[in-house]
Every structure is written in C-alpha cells, then in structure tokens.
Amino acid sequence: MKKLFIIGTGPGDLQLLTPKAQQAISASTELVAYGLYLDLLGDICAAKNRHDLPLGEEINRARLALDLAAQGKETALISSGDIGIYAMATLVFELLDRQLQGLEQSPQWLEVDIQVIPGISAMQAGASAVGALLGHDFCTISLSDLLTPWETIKKRIECAAAGDFVVSFYNPVSKKRDWQLNSARDILLASRPANTPVLIGRQLTRPEQSINIIQLQDLDAKDVDMFTMVSVGNSESRHIVNGDKEWLYTPRGYSKKLA
Amino acid sequence: MKKLFIIGTGPGDLQLLTPKAQQAISASTELVAYGLYLDLLGDICAAKNRHDLPLGEEINRARLALDLAAQGKETALISSGDIGIYAMATLVFELLDRQLQGLEQSPQWLEVDIQVIPGISAMQAGASAVGALLGHDFCTISLSDLLTPWETIKKRIECAAAGDFVVSFYNPVSKKRDWQLNSARDILLASRPANTPVLIGRQLTRPEQSINIIQLQDLDAKDVDMFTMVSVGNSESRHIVNGDKEWLYTPRGYSKKLA
C-alpha cells in the first residue's frame, strides 16, 4: 500500500504532539516539511530523510510528498500546528483534484492512500495559555493577501466584526506585509470597544514563548512577527487579574444562571 | 501548591490524547467530568475518584473542581474535544471573575493555580477525516440557544454566510432542540450554492464513527444528533472522488499559481 501521512505536529511543545502523529512519523522514512518544523521535533526526526524545502516552495513540497509516496516510500508531509488549518493539507488535495481533472501528469498520485492527522493549532495554544479566549463563537482569518484578494479578506473582517466573533488572525504579518493587521484592527474598532482584550502570543509553547495581553486600541503590527498569534476577544471577552496571574476568557452566558 | 488542570482530551481516540493531557490526568486524584468523557478515557481513569455530574450540571461541575483543588486535592476538570472551545474552561474563569468581584463566597478559589491544556476539537477531527475542509477561513457557531439568544446566533450565521466562511456548527441539535439547524441551513442557502458540500460526522474517531458527505440543500436536523459534527464548506470547497475514496477540501487559492 502506498501511503502518505499528512501530519500536524502542534505548536511546538512535544507534549502537545499526539501519539497518532508521533507514530506516523516513526513509520515514515521520508519527512517533507519546512525545516523549522522538523527542527522542533528534535530526535523524532533522527535517521529520517529530510526534504526541507524553504518557505514559498509549498506547491513543490506537496508535489514531492505525493511523488515520494507514489514511489512506495513511507512519507510524511509535516506542518506545525494543525496541518489542515492554513497549512499543507489542502494543497495536496488541490493537486489530486487537478490530476482527477487531467490538469496534472501524475496519475500515480491517485494510487496513494492518504491519512490526515490533525494537531493543536496556534489559536488553541494561545487561548489555553491565557485561559479560555475561544470559549464562545469564533473565527479565523488569514491576513495573507498573496493568494486571497485583500477585498475578500477585508469583507471577512467586516463580517467577523458584525457577528461579534472572537477573531484569530493567522499570518498577521510577514517580512513583506505589514499594513493588513492595522487595517483589520481599525475595522474591528469600529464596532468593538477600544479596550477589547487582545492576545499577542509569540512562539507559543516553545522555550522562547512570550505572551502579552493588550487592548485592541493598542494593537500594532510593529509588535507582531511571523511567529505570533493574534487573537481578539469579542465584545464580552473579559480580562481578569488575580494577584500575579491574568486571564482572558469569553463567557458563554452562564452569568444569567449564576445571577 | 493547589492545582487545577483543565483538560481537553480530544474527540475520543486515545491516539489523539496529547501526552500533556495524559500526564495531567495521571498526576490527578480527582477527575471531574460528564461521565461519558471519563468512559472514553478507559484505563487512564482507573483508581481515580470520579465526580461525574450529569449534563446540565455544568456550573456545579466547575464549582466542584475549584472546591476540590482549593482543598489541596490534585484535580482535573475534563471535557472531550478542546475544553477551551464551547466547554468547561470558560465557566471556571467566569466563576473566578465573580469571586474577584465579590459575587461568590469562595475566596479559597483564588489560591488555585490553574493550567489549561488544549485538545483536538471535533471540527478538526471531522475536517481531517475527510481531507482539509478547514483549509481556509472558517468559523464556529454553537446552535444552542439555552445561553445565547437565537437572535444573536442568527446574526452570526448571517455574518458567516456574508463572509463566505466555512462554518462548523457545535451543539447542532439536542433532545429538546431540533429546528435551529434547518434554519441555519436556510440562511446559508440564501448565499451559498445548493450543492455546497457538508460533512456530517458522528462519533468522530470512536469505534462507532460514521461520516457522510452531503449537499447543503439536503442537510436536515433529523439526520443529526448530539454526537454529530456538522461542517459546511464555503462557496469554493470541493468534493472530489478518487475510486472508492472521497474527500472534501477548501482551497487557499494556489490554483492561481498552478494554472
């Protein structure tokens, strides 16, 4: 059986790597990933063939993973976080779809048995680190306009604002993109209190983790980089302080029962 | 140190239980949960004191967990999925918040060190089982109007429709609620193609798992129960069939680069 594992390895802390993901990596000889993700896995990747294509080479990474698997090699395509959320999984299926439509010349891909293994995504690592920010309805929006027109992204931010969703921004900035996050902030500020709590979580669950809780009015792209998760509370999200501990949570409405 | 673990144990398959969650359960003597969630954990819960309050007793479950921890007992409050997503974590912080405001009479709660451990949520188990349905911007909406007014829920569905988000419905139906899901379907149908793919995933990752891929126009609450995840694709989500395998994915837009 030709097999391709598509694996999300969680935010970084190996204690959040699921046994299912770990076993799939163990069963593979070929690991295809952006190199940093493999570095985070440490010894688990020892004695494996690493195919660490750089950022920007996503399509070639997906092609390579399908090609290796189709050659009968035990192959794992790996992303940190959940590989099904803004990551490589969808690209593999997009290539398969193209092959099924006759737009690719790789019929061998269709013989590969695919298994997708989910992982803990950055929004979950962030929300749990500060309490329960995702406790009620939320959405995720990628601020990368490389593949999605800004008009579409802007419309989604406006809808997230109108619906009062907690919002997690993926790809908030990059080396070449710095204005989208501030634009998103301004759209949310039009309908959400200026003191709405915001989580700025950098390198979540990794040794260099830093977490800042700020107010929406103070959100600024200059304080955010590619390793940062930005999650904005809804109009009811609360920031509470208990001694030297502080928490963010979004209530589900139990207060009506508690009152 | 008085300690309370708040733990998400994933959808059911113990291979998706993180080592961090497993270790926290091992370190606890008191497990507070809806009984089914403890049953799913099997032997891990052996020789622990089970406090399995029934559905509807969420507030008492949160109070009990805080009380036990404040008494110095190693305590874990447990939900399946991600306990930070529509589950018990937020309720603990809501109680802490009330204590900080002087609305509760349990100052001992404030001495408890809290650690929240995220888990794989049902939407992730569902999306990965069928491919990559959460590959682009998505939202989650709970259809339970026990704590949230239907007008608020309806507004969120309308905004999710307007923003063309992939939508995962939590609490789609219950024994006493059966009309909200069909109403949500009709709202989405007003702006999304009738053949938009929908995942109906029941008892995901558990031995009795069943998965159906249907079209939005055929979504009906009578086919859904409390153990079911319903995720609706956006206008670009694709249903592809390769022999006896079928997949759902939501493209990120690489097709522009691939064309």
Q: Give the pLDDT confidence of B191-243 residue by residue, as tens digits.
A: 999 999 999 999 999 999 999 999 999 999 999 999 999 999 999 999 999 99
DSSP state of A253: S
Q: What is the model's pLDDT at position A255? A: 74
Q: Which of B91, B135, B147 is nearest residue A84 as measured by Cβ atoms?
A: B135
Which region among A5-14, B31-40, B189-198 has the lowest average model confidence (pLDDT)?
A: B31-40
Query: Are residues A68 and A129 both part of a single domain?
Result: no
Query: Are residues B89 and B46 both part of a single domain?
Result: yes
Domain containing residue A19? 3-120
Looking at A76, A94, A120, the residue that finishes a domain is A120
User: Are A128 and B141 a contacting pair at CB < 8 A?
Assistant: no
% of chain B residues with pLDDT over 70: 100
User: Are B120 and A118 a contacting pair at CB < 8 A?
Assistant: yes
User: Are B159 and A165 a contacting pair at CB < 8 A?
Assistant: yes
Q: Is A206 on the interface with B (CB under 8 A)?
A: no
Q: Which of B18, B132, B249 is nearest residue A15 as measured by Cβ atoms?
A: B18
Q: What is the model's pLDDT at position B256? A: 75
Q: Is the pTM of this model over 0.90?
A: yes
Query: Are residues A91 and A144 both part of a single domain?
Result: no
Query: Are residues A208 and A127 both part of a single domain?
Result: yes
Q: Is B44 on the interface with A (CB under 8 A)?
A: no
Interval B126-151 mean pLDDT: 97
Asked if A96 and A90 touch (Cβ cutoff 8 Å), the reply is: no
Looking at A120, A140, A155, the residue that finishes a domain is A120
pLDDT tens across A94-146, in order?
999 999 999 999 999 999 999 999 999 999 999 999 999 999 999 999 999 98
CB under 8 Å to B46, separation ≥6 — which residues? none
Q: Is B189 on the interface with A (CB under 8 A)?
A: no
Query: Are residues A88 and A183 both part of a single domain?
Result: no
Q: What is the model's pLDDT at position A27? A: 96
User: Are A128 and B89 a contacting pair at CB < 8 A?
Assistant: yes
Query: Are residues A51 and A151 both part of a single domain?
Result: no
Query: Are residues B48 and B103 both part of a single domain?
Result: yes
Report the C-alpha gap between B182 and B165 in whole angstroms: 18
Query: Are residues A128 and A249 both part of a single domain?
Result: yes
Q: Is B199 on the interface with A (CB under 8 A)?
A: no
Q: Which tokens in the block code for residue B221?
A: 């609450």
Q: Is A226 on the interface with B (CB under 8 A)?
A: no
Q: What is the model's pLDDT at position A1? A: 79
ipTM above 0.90, yes or no: yes
Looking at A70, A99, A120, the residue that finishes a domain is A120
- d(CA A47, nearest CA chain B) in Å: 23
Query: Are residues B35 and B160 both part of a single domain?
Result: no
Our count of domains for chain A comes to 2
Q: Is A119 on the interface with B (CB under 8 A)?
A: yes
Query: Are residues B223 and B138 both part of a single domain?
Result: yes
Say whether pLDDT at B84 is over 90. Answer: yes
**Confidence label for B54 from pLDDT (cuts 50, 70 and 90):** confident
Taking contacts as CB-CB distances below 8 angstroms, the residues of chain B near A238 are 93, 97
Query: Are residues A230 and A127 both part of a single domain?
Result: yes
**Confidence label for A165 from pLDDT (cuts 50, 70 and 90):** very high
